[in-house]
Amino acid sequence: MPTLYNRIQGRNIDRLAALSDGIFAVAMTLLVLDLHIPSISAVHHEGELLGALAALGPQWIAYAMSFLTLGILWAGQQTQLNYIAEGTRDLTWIHLGFLFAITFLPLSTRLLASFITYRAALGMYWLNIFAAGAMLYWRWAHATHARLIKADTPDEVRGSICRRIVIAQSFYAAGAVLCFINTWVSIGVILAVQLNYAVTPSVWQRRRN
Amino acid sequence: MPTLYNRIQGRNIDRLAALSDGIFAVAMTLLVLDLHIPSISAVHHEGELLGALAALGPQWIAYAMSFLTLGILWAGQQTQLNYIAEGTRDLTWIHLGFLFAITFLPLSTRLLASFITYRAALGMYWLNIFAAGAMLYWRWAHATHARLIKADTPDEVRGSICRRIVIAQSFYAAGAVLCFINTWVSIGVILAVQLNYAVTPSVWQRRRN
Amino acid sequence: MPTLYNRIQGRNIDRLAALSDGIFAVAMTLLVLDLHIPSISAVHHEGELLGALAALGPQWIAYAMSFLTLGILWAGQQTQLNYIAEGTRDLTWIHLGFLFAITFLPLSTRLLASFITYRAALGMYWLNIFAAGAMLYWRWAHATHARLIKADTPDEVRGSICRRIVIAQSFYAAGAVLCFINTWVSIGVILAVQLNYAVTPSVWQRRRN
Amino acid sequence: MPTLYNRIQGRNIDRLAALSDGIFAVAMTLLVLDLHIPSISAVHHEGELLGALAALGPQWIAYAMSFLTLGILWAGQQTQLNYIAEGTRDLTWIHLGFLFAITFLPLSTRLLASFITYRAALGMYWLNIFAAGAMLYWRWAHATHARLIKADTPDEVRGSICRRIVIAQSFYAAGAVLCFINTWVSIGVILAVQLNYAVTPSVWQRRRN
């Protein structure tokens, strides 16, 4: 039996959700702090400003990709939380591990934006996404095993949440492996996977209706 | 029919509102991080400090304008959310697109404060406001179309929310076009429109009562 | 009569409170970002590190004073919100004006920490506290006048909230005026007033019980 | 008897929890802002990037340790809040004192990461953890004494919360004292204590089930 303190700790799912929302909000907004604007001394007329903005392109792609990543992970974590009735201290710590990966993403993004043609930078970025996904999977597995999931949750929801993580992470891993050809190919594939999760399904839906 | 996972995702409007509040809070506070204070080595007596503070004027105007922009957009988004009964994954992603525009505003502001006489900087600033407004419009249109709006919402409220966005954005666009005369004229008009939304109506009300 | 949109806007007091909590949380944490640590090249042994930390003293006083200020203002604004039943768009904008003053405080603090012997820096710091207090007073006056206060609020609470703001601001103003003698005298008085609001009353209480 | 204003202030525990979650979220995310990435000019091929990342090791250890610290303190403070029925102004100010220690942790971390072999830096880091723990203890003692704890809280919970703080802080103090041998020994012991609170108990539990 766990000690008393371990049993009374971390019961409140609402506080966990509030901490998550706060961390995602800060991480999403901090991404922009790393974007530089053209230096004043290098710009003398309108054309130079537009040129300098265009030259910041690679940075901005890494930034947009990270916002998408954070959006996907935020949506994923809160979908899970909606089905969890109660927390435990283990769930709290798995969740804090997930949030640790989230707070790391602005750093991975900065690394990738600075070294966008380096496989080591892309590998670290992928590792970060993988760590976040793995913690989400673990959290759901733990919640299932420890019977923390709301009683009225349909069985197909339980499977659906696991499947979604495994499929998305497989695509990310496949994209990351392509960095041995070229990091830009990797980034293109990862972005395509992310846009698929964010945008395409709603287009598909509309067609079918 | 959308897949099961897409149906169970993003139902909770409260979490969406919490993420929004967090992002607005961070963006509003981060704006100040870009304001510089006079350098210690350039100031030797009280008069020089006052002079150096006054010289930071253009920066501070861009900052005040951005706080007003964020205030107007925050009030707009939360008025909508009050009438939305339930989320969907599409609504979540439209909302995340809106928040993406919000996180961008500190960067546009920094650009405008550094290049306040450049049309390219003003154009980008306007584009940012326009993108946020367009996402808000799209969100409401989607919520109406997907029947996510609370059943007891009067019909005139539905139209009123759309109209408000269209009118405000028309004024902003008109203001932005004036940058072909002079960017300061644009900024003056945009500030006047914003102050009208923030301050004047309450003066008008008082007179009529 | 205000237009329809102005009547439906800003009703939700909970969202206003959440935005406030977010802005206070960010502002309180950002204060530390402006504190510098000793430079690595200037420190060669334990004694030098302790000396360098001690030399950062003035900075840290400004920082502690600002945390106290934010704490007092946060406690004040949430005490008010607990008695307000419903918002209006006017209340929302008065509140956003208050939050504008809050987001400015890290900047005023940085200015004061850099120019701690300058009356202009102290005057601006005081102006910031005054602006925040004035908005709080205005918000309560507006809530009273527009009948937004919960029906079961005792009459003495209404007066008590106004009185508290007026008395505290009088002390702050008196403290600020003392900067014509010396800014350190001002800072000492302001700190004493703040500590009185934060700490002393509970000591007084204990004695009386 | 306290004055009326002091009796009406700070009743709402939910707002205190929301402010806490916000400050923890910002502090956890800001830690990463202090991590540097290798400079572009120093890196010419994949191997150099990996080497440069590895050289950032000490920084990252301090960062991971601080995230663990914040996680432990967050879990501790919210476990307490779950058992507190109502606030008072004294409780609010003890809690704000606790949050003051929390906002300071990113600074202590930066100091430790820069001067990781200095006892003064480690001592200050420990002082920060100690201050946070002491405020948590004081808060619980005050809540007990002022009868703010929910009526249905079992007696063993009351003792358990105090014991947990005293035991954890004793371990931290013992770890800190070891810096007179070597700061790395201290850091190793503190990390081991933290990992014990975060990870090990759940392993122990599993074995016993």
Chain C residues in contact with B24 by the CB 8 A cut-off are 19, 22
- pLDDT of B89 > 50? The answer is yes
Going by pLDDT thresholds of 50, 70 and 90, the confidence category of residue B208 is very low
| Nearest residue of B to residue D22, measured between CA atoms | B22
**Tell me, what's the pLDDT at A138?**
94
> What do you get for the CA distance between the two ends of chain A, in Å?
53
Find the CB nearest C22 among B22, B75, B79.
B22
Task: Answer whether residue A103 is part of any domain.
Answer: yes
Q: What is the dihedral of CA B145, B146, B149, B150, to 10 degrees?
A: 130
CA B184/CA B57 separation, integer angstroms: 13
Any idea which residue has 């420890």 for tokens? A146
Instruction: Supply the DSSP string of A104-168, one letter for each residue.
Output: HHHHHHHHHHHSTT-HHHHHHHHHHHHHHHHHHHHHHHHHHHTT-B-TT--HHHHHHHHHHHHHH
CA B85/CA D68 separation, integer angstroms: 38
**Any CB–CB contact under 8 A between A201 and chain C?**
no
**Any CB–CB contact under 8 A between B8 and chain D?**
no
Q: Which residue has the higher pLDDT, A44 or D200?
A: A44
**Tell me, what's the pLDDT at C202?**
53
Chain D interface test: which of B20, B23, B26, B103 (most D C-beta within 10 Å):
B26
Task: Answer whether residue A3 is part of any domain.
Answer: no
Instruction: Supply the DSSP string of A59-115, one letter for each residue.
Output: HHHHHHHHHHHHHHHHHHHHHHHHHB----HHHHHHHHHHHHHHHHHHHHHHHHHHS
Let me know how long chain C is: 209
CA A11/CA A7 separation, integer angstroms: 8
Chain A residues in contact with B111 by the CB 8 A cut-off are 37
pLDDT digits (tens, 9 = 90+) for A82-117: 889 888 888 999 999 999 999 999 999 989 888 988
CA C101/CA A43 separation, integer angstroms: 34
**Tell me, what's the pLDDT at A208?**
44
**Mind listing the pLDDT tens digit of every residue in chain C (209 residues)?**
456 777 677 677 888 999 999 999 999 998 888 788 888 888 888 888 988 888 887 778 888 889 999 999 999 998 898 889 888 888 999 999 999 999 999 999 989 888 988 999 999 999 999 999 999 999 999 999 988 988 888 888 888 888 889 998 999 999 999 988 888 899 999 988 888 888 765 555 554 44
Structure-block tokens of residue B86 = 């339930």
| Nearest residue of C to residue D23, measured between CA atoms | C25
Instruction: Supply the DSSP string of B144-196, one letter for each residue.
Output: HHTT-B-TT--HHHHHHHHHHHHHHHHHHHHHHHGGGT-HHHHHHHHHHHHHH
Answer whether A124 sits within 8 Å of D28, measured CB to CB: no
| Nearest residue of C to residue A22, measured between CA atoms | C22
**Any CB–CB contact under 8 A between C147 and chain B?**
no
pLDDT digits (tens, 9 = 90+) for D62-107: 888 899 999 999 999 988 988 898 888 889 999 999 999 999 999 9
Answer whether A79 sits within 8 Å of B110, measured CB to CB: no
- pLDDT of D207 > 80? The answer is no
Task: Answer whether residue A154 is part of any domain.
Answer: yes
Alpha-carbon gap: D16 to the closest alpha carbon of chain C (Å): 9
The number of domains in chain D is 1
Answer whether A5 sits within 8 Å of D164, measured CB to CB: yes
Answer whether C28 sits within 8 Å of D103, measured CB to CB: yes
User: Mean pLDDT throughout B69-93?
Assistant: 90
User: Mean pLDDT throughout D137-160?
Assistant: 88
**Any CB–CB contact under 8 A between D53 and chain A?**
yes
**Any CB–CB contact under 8 A between A50 and chain B?**
yes
Q: Which residue has the higher pLDDT, A9 or B204?
A: A9
**Any CB–CB contact under 8 A between A18 and chain C?**
no
Find the CB nearest A12 among D33, D82, D157.
D82
Residue type, B97: G
- pLDDT of D132 > 90? The answer is yes
Chain A residues in contact with D29 by the CB 8 A cut-off are 23, 26-27, 30, 103, 106
Chain A interface test: which of B4, B5, B116 (most A C-beta within 10 Å):
B5
**Tell me, what's the pLDDT at D209?**
42
**Tell me, what's the pLDDT at D34?**
78
Residue D10 lies in domain: 4-208
Average pLDDT of each block of 10 consecutive residues along chain A (209 residues)?
Answer: 66 87 94 84 87 84 89 91 87 94 92 89 93 94 90 85 90 90 89 82 50
Contact assessment for residue C87 and residue C9, using Cβ atoms and an 8 Å cutoff = no
**Tell me, what's the pLDDT at B174?**
92
Convert B11-78 into a string of H (helix), E (strand) and C (coil): CCHHHHHHHHHHHHHHHHHHHHHCCCCCCHHHCCCHHHHHHHHHHCHHHHHHHHHHHHHHHHHHHHHH
| Nearest residue of C to residue D1, measured between CA atoms | C205
Alpha-carbon gap: D201 to the closest alpha carbon of chain C (Å): 32
pLDDT digits (tens, 9 = 90+) for B95-154: 999 999 999 999 999 898 889 889 999 999 999 999 999 999 999 999 999 888 988 888
Residues 64-123 of C with CB under 8 A from D: 64, 67, 71, 74-75, 78-79, 81-82
